[in-house]
């Protein structure tokens, strides 16, 4: 279960208008995961492969709950690795895929990614997990296909939609979706500030996997049975700021707040309905 603080440089690269510094997040569901995407302008491009390779490397730190709904907080190191050439990209958040934007402001991307799942122990590196979940069984990692679409409404506001579809891994893991708005609050040579407001939803299998408790799990864990049906499981607000020192060096800070609701908010797994995640990274960008 990914976290949108980096969803969206999830996570999109300056949706739909891709910009020079798109470091975002993914509060889609749990622990904090991050990426930096150097997305070049592919509007109406005739050279799909591009004429240069853009690479962003960096490191930082993130703080957030051990899993979405946990009251325990942890700090983890955040690696930044992103490669872009033409319409093709590969980075630690979005996975590997391609993106395209039309002159009318419609953006679309598709990529193969990975959802790390959730462990029943305190994880020391990337991924969600807590020993409080003992007896629930691990949620195995899953290969996913990630589809993102957006339409520019004004020069600074876009309507965005995304879907994460499980291909292989956790049995009956299900799929999750996101719908919302992306706003460019400030965009100049030195600073880029953005806000993202999203609703997050899952199908029955997804919500049951991450928020439900089966009869068998209630027998082996501390939790009572809970049925989590399909629908919206939360709303998030994410703000990010990237400051560029020169054409190579930049820093990014971001904060995201996720509010669980519905069956997810009532889940016995959830200790805290409001999840706050934050990160700061130092980034170095260069071309090949």
pLDDT score of 3: 54
Whether the model pTM is above 0.95? no
**Which of 141, 139, 144 shows the shortest CA–CA distance to 113?**
144
Domains of the chain plus CATH, in order, are 4-287 (2.40.230)
- 198 and 3 Cβ atoms separated by less than 8 Å: no
Query: Range with the lowest mean pLDDT among 3-7, 246-250, 271-275?
Result: 3-7
Output 57-61 pairs: Cβ under 8 A, ≥24 positions apart. 57/81, 57/283, 57/284, 58/281, 58/282, 58/283, 58/284, 59/281, 59/282, 60/34, 60/252, 60/279, 60/280, 60/281, 60/282, 61/279, 61/280, 61/281
Alpha helices in 26-86 (DSSP H): none
- The C-alpha torsion from 223 through 31 and 70 to 205, rounded to 10°, is -30
Helix (H, G, I), strand (E, B) or coil at 93: coil
Q: Does the pLDDT at position 59 exceed 90?
A: yes
Q: Does the pLDDT at position 172 exceed 70?
A: yes
Q: Does the pLDDT at position 173 exceed 80?
A: yes
pLDDT digits (tens, 9 = 90+) for 196-237: 999 999 999 999 999 999 999 999 999 999 999 999 999 999
Rounded to whole angstroms, the Cα distance separating 82 from 257 reads 25
Rounded to whole angstroms, the Cα distance separating 204 from 148 reads 21
Q: Does the pLDDT at position 10 exceed 90?
A: no
CA atoms within 13 A on the CB side of 109: 35
**Which of 121, 114, 98, 131 shows the shortest CA–CA distance to 33?**
114
Provide φ and ψ at 247, rounded to 5°: -70, -10
pLDDT digits (tens, 9 = 90+) for 83-138: 999 999 999 888 999 999 999 999 999 999 999 999 999 986 778 999 999 999 99
């Amino acid at each position: 279960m990914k976290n949108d603080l980096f969803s969206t440089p999830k996570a999109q690269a300056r949706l739909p208008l891709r910009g020079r510094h798109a470091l975002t997040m993914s509060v889609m569901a749990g622990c904090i995961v991050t990426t930096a995407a150097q997305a070049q302008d592919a509007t109406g491009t005739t050279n799909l492969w591009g004429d240069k390779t853009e690479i962003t490397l960096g490191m930082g730190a993130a703080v957030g709950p051990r899993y979405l709904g946990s009251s325990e907080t942890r700090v983890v190191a955040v690696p930044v690795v992103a490669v872009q050439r033409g319409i093709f990209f590969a980075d630690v958040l979005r996975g590997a895929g391609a993106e395209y934007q039309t002159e009318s402001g419609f953006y679309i991307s598709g990529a193969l990614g990975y959802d790390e799942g959730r462990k029943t122990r305190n994880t020391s590196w990337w991924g969600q997990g807590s020993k409080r979940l003992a007896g629930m069984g691990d949620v195995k990692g899953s290969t996913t296909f990630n589809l993102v679409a957006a339409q520019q409404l004004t020069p600074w506001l876009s309507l965005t939609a995304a879907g994460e579809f499980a291909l292989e891994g956790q049995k009956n893991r299900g799929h999750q979706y996101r719908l919302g708005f992306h706003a460019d609050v400030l965009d100049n040579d030195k600073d880029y500030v953005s806000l993202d407001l999203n609703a997050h939803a899952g199908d029955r299998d997804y919500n049951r996997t991450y928020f439900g408790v089966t009869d068998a799990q209630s027998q082996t864990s501390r939790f009572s049975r809970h049925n989590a049906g399909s629908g919206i499981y939360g709303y998030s607000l994410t703000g990010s700021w990237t400051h560029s020192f020169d054409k190579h060096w930049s820093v990014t800070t971001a904060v995201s707040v996720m509010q669980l609701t519905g069956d997810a908010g009532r889940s016995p797994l959830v200790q805290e309905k409001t999840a706050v995640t934050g990160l700061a990274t130092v980034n170095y960008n260069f071309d090949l």
